[in-house]
Amino acid sequence: MSWLILLQTNYCMMMKVAIIGTGRMGKGLLKTFYRAYGTQVIFTGRDIAHAQSVIEELDLSLQAVPLEEALQADVIIPTLWFSDLLAWAQEHRKVLEGKIVIDISNPFNENFDDFTTAYDTSAAEELQKVIPDSHVVTAFKNTYWVVFDAPVLQGLKSDVYVASNSGTARETVMQLLKQLPFRILDAGLLKNSRTIERMTLLSSELARKAGSHPRIAFNLWGLEHEGLPQEKQARTNALKPVS
């Protein structure tokens, strides 16, 4: 491990991560982050008593905090629908300045069969426009809430594509997420969210046809699978081009 990665890993072990929202994704992220980061995780929702009841339901040793306190964290994960997200971000724009904001939203229409955004933009890019002084980082766009309970299938971790216009923020989030049971991939600039978000539309349609919705996740072939048993790694290596 290089000194830079070691430094980033140590920094991640000190960062506070706030998960905002008590819905399906809020709960899934809370469970997953708590297992890796314990009390570094901060949790809240519009109703703090309800947020506390979710913590108790999941049997976690945490205390829900007011939103104002949660927004002091280093990394903020709002788990709102895109239709509510931009107004929320606008309202908290000042306090979000300089912070990393992880965007998980997919801009679905009311029928969940298409997006409300044009092809030349994405939810993440629209969010970045509203909070230009924050570092928006795309992640978990294709991770259905049920997948948090079983992110590894047949020995293969499901993919999380991480994109941001800030290379530093992207790298920080990747180091943060690498403690979670997913394969974390550097997906480059935020404009790649146009594709990443639309991949959710595709996976949704494929899963509905197969009758497995929402139990579906991406796992691209031909990329390394860090941390898997040697046998699985060998299988991955077999996909590498022969020179």
Residues near ligand NAP (CB under 6 A): 21-26, 45-46, 79-82, 84, 88, 104-106, 140-141, 143-145, 214
How many angstroms separate the CA atoms of 77 and 138, rounded?
10
CB 145 within 8 A of CB 19: no
Closer to ligand NAP by CB, 100 or 139: give it.
Answer: 139
Query: Shortest gap between Cβ of 70 and ligand NAP (angstroms)?
Result: 11
CB of 7 to ligand NAP, least distance (A): 31
181, exposed or middle or buried, with CB in 10 Å at 0-12, 13-18, 19+? Answer: middle
Residue nearer to ligand NAP on the CB measure, 181 or 214: 214
Residue closer to ligand NAP (CB basis): 123 or 176: 123
Q: Judge whether 175 and 9 are in contact, CB under 8 Å.
A: yes
- Whole-angstrom distance between the N-terminal and C-terminal Cα of the chain? 27
Ranked by CB distance to ligand NAP, the top (closest) residue is: 23
Looking at residue 147, the DSSP 8-state letter turns out to be G
**Least distance from ligand NAP to the Cβ atom of residue 146, Å:** 7
CA distance 145 to 53: 19
Report the residue number, 24 or 232, with the smaller CB distance to ligand NAP. 24
Per the CB < 8 A criterion, the answer to whether 239 and 178 are in contact is no
Q: Which is nearer to ligand NAP, 11 or 112 (CB)?
A: 112
Instruction: Give the shortest CB-34-to-ligand NAP separation in angstroms.
Output: 16
Residue type, 206: L
Question: Which of 24, 25, 201 minimizes the C-alpha distance to 117?
Answer: 201
CB of 195 to ligand NAP, least distance (A): 15
Beta bridge partners of 183: 159
Please state the closest distance from residue 230 (CB atom) to ligand NAP, in A: 32
Cβ nearer to ligand NAP, comparing 45 with 151? 45
